[in-house]
Amino acid sequence: MKQEKFRMFEALGDTISTLKENMSRYALNTLITVVITVFASFLLVAMMSNISHASYVYNSGFSPRIIVGLAGYLLFIVLIEVLQIIYIKITDDLYEKRTLDYGEQFKFVFKRIVHIFLAYLMLAVPGFTMVYLIDSLTSVNQLTGLFVSVVYSLVALMFMMVNPAIVIEEMNAFKAIRRSLTMMWKNILRCIGFFIVMFLILMVIMLLVSFIAMIFIRISPAFSFVLMCIYIPIVFLLAPIPMIFKTILYKQVDHKPYDQDESIEALEDDYFEEIYE
């Protein structure tokens, strides 16, 4: 029987074991993400270069190449979002012991893209507004800006389960947001405590690694290149962890197989099926 409360550290352990046992399933998606990101970076550099020279050629300030570049960059944002959410689909399939290949998982997520981006737009507008407000307040008073940043982080945390709801239960954007708010409200204190503990642990690890790295770099400057060669594969391998973690947390919760609005109809259908059987 599933529970309504998150088991944070258990989910973290399951996340690490899931990634360790299925590294190859996640590596392909990460590799595609890296390739597209590198290509988009070159595209952005080229586009910015064109913008700086466009006014000399076009009075409007936009050349056809800039328009194509902007369209390409928007496509990049869509693809990156799809690729990130494919991690959720892969984890859900592993959890439910389904055997779908990568192409089928990509198609499934792409079919959900309208709901994913509708939810993204609904949350992005107030999100960007809050970021602008934080930046403005920080320039006036750092303490006020810090307070607003904390409030913003807590609000953002409430929407952590939107994408898992869209992918795992195939909800639309509105229902996914409602489901995320319901789930997170019951677990907000657990999440805050967990992330504070993890933040402190990671800070200690980063300080120790930085201290050791500085010692070796002073001994030999070439060691910085060695560190870079170690750092890049580690980031590559650990990239799926946030999405795996969210998916496992979502699967822990005893969520209903149908929406509360449809519960009476669903019960009636089950009742009549039992009668006819």
Per-residue pLDDT of the chain (277 residues; tens, 9 = 90+): 456 788 899 999 999 999 999 998 899 999 988 888 887 777 666 666 665 554 444 455 555 666 666 666 677 777 888 888 999 999 999 988 888 888 899 889 888 888 888 888 887 767 666 666 666 666 666 666 667 677 777 888 888 999 999 999 999 999 999 999 999 988 988 898 998 998 899 889 888 888 887 887 777 777 777 777 787 788 888 889 999 999 999 998 855 544 444 443 443 444 344 444 4
Q: How far apart are CA 270 and CA 38, in angstroms?
A: 52
Q: Which domain holds residue 173?
A: 113-219
> Of 111, 134, 165, which one is at a domain's C-terminal end?
111
Domain final residue, candidates 88, 111, 134: 111
| Strand intervals (E) in 90-244 | none
Who contacts 181 (Cβ-Cβ below 8 Å, separation ≥6)?
158, 159
Residue 277 forms part of a structural domain: no
Mark whether 95 and 121 lie in a shared domain.
no
User: Residue 161, exposed/middle/buried by CB under 10 A (0-12, 13-18, 19+)?
Assistant: buried
- C-alpha–C-alpha distance, residues 163 and 228, integer Å: 32
Same domain, 73 and 142: no
Which of 219, 234, 266 is the endpoint of a domain?
Answer: 219
Indicate whether 162 belongs to any domain.
yes
> Residue 88: what pLDDT?
94
Residue 62 lies in a domain: yes
pTM across the whole model: 0.75
137 occurs within a structural domain: yes
Query: pLDDT value at position 162?
Result: 92
Judgement on whether residues 127 and 202 belong to the same structural domain of the protein: yes
Residue 160 included in any domain: yes
Question: Is 206 found in the same domain as 119?
Answer: yes
Task: Looking at the structure, tell me whether residues 91 and 135 fall in a common domain.
Answer: no
Contacts of 41 (CB under 8 A, 6+ apart): none
pLDDT of residue 2: 52
Q: Is residue 78 part of a domain?
A: yes
